[in-house]
Amino acid sequence: MFSTPEPTGSKRDRTRALIVETALRSFRERGYDATTIRRIASEAGVSVGTTNYHFASKNELVQEFYLQVQQAHRAAALPRLESERDLKDRLAIVFHTGLDQLTPTHGHAPEFLTAAVSPRSSINPLSPESNASLAIVEDLFRTAVDGADHKLPKDIAEALPGALVLAHLLLAMYWVYDESDHQAKTRRLLDRGLALLAMALPLARLPMLRRPLRELLDLIAEARS
């Protein structure tokens, strides 16, 4: 599901890449709580001091994990978007491939959520440290909207990807608590939500509905800022 590039460059770069690879494997296999800096250092064959030199805390490595998940999300979604033009189906591709990347970590997801829930946590999905990962998600939604056959007003189409990022985060939170087989409830919720969105968005062309929809999208953008 995930792959780590072969280390290249200086010894320092190779050591850093080895620490990242070791940490990401441990996060996937053991979860957040059982993955400690000492364990990462031991499995990477380096000292704790060397690990701390490259990464001041475990949470910096969690951000590397977030980033790799979203890079895999992008790699899975983009080829599928090339052959689809319907807006709802393109959005479904982005949402479902995102869930696909999360699925192997579902057993440990509550640990990450517990660690991230504090507004002061550096691994909170809305923290500045998470910007790089969220930027990938927003760019995917923008690609999905921009490449679709639709007649949305330009301002609505431009604001929609940012709102969809928040929907993506809320869906991921629901997914954490979903104990149904293969998180089927989450996917059903997603598909029904997209069906409603597909019916509602064309109404944005009506002047009496366009303004409140735009204000709603602006409110969501403000909530994310």
What is the model's pLDDT at position 150? 87
Helix axes 154-177, 207-224, angle to 10 degrees: 50
Q: Which position has the token pair 């990477």?
A: 44
What is the model's pLDDT at position 121? 92
Answer yes or no: is pLDDT of 222 > 60.
yes
Answer yes or no: is pLDDT of 1 > 80.
no
Query: Rounded to a whole number, what is the distance in angstroms from the first to the last CA of the chain?
Result: 32
Give the C-alpha distances (Å, rounded to integers) separating 32 from 79, 94, 123: 31, 26, 11
Answer yes or no: is pLDDT of 9 > 80.
no
Task: List pLDDT tens digits, range 117-148.
Answer: 888 899 999 899 999 999 999 999 999 999 99
Q: Which position has the token pair 């930027």?
A: 135
Cβ 166 vs Cβ 134: under 8 Å = no
Residue 175 to residue 172: CA distance in whole angstroms: 5
Residue 116 to residue 129: CA distance in whole angstroms: 12
Residue 156 to residue 215: CA distance in whole angstroms: 10
Task: List pLDDT tens digits, range 179-201.
Answer: 999 999 999 999 999 999 999 88
Residue 18: left (phi > 0), alpha (psi -120 to 50), or beta? alpha
Per-residue HEC secondary structure of the chain comes to CCCCCCCCCCHHHHHHHHHHHHHHHHHHHHCCCCCCHHHHHHHHCCCHHHHHHHCCCHHHHHHHHHHHHHHHHHHHHHHHHCCCCEHHHHHHHHHHHHHHHHHHHHHHHHHHHHHHCCCCCCCCCCCHHHHHHHHHHHHHHHHHHHCCECCCCHHHHHHHHHHHHHHHHHHHHHHHHCCCHHHHHHHHHHHHHHHHHHHHHHHHHCHHHHHHHHHHHHHHHHHHC
Answer yes or no: is pLDDT of 4 > 80.
no
**The tokens of 21 are what?**
């690879």
Task: List pLDDT tens digits, range 52-84.
Answer: 999 999 999 999 999 999 999 999 999 999 999
**The tokens of 26 are what?**
């441990």
Q: For residue 149, which phi and psi values (nearest 5 degrees)?
A: -85, 105
Whether pTM exceeds 0.85: yes
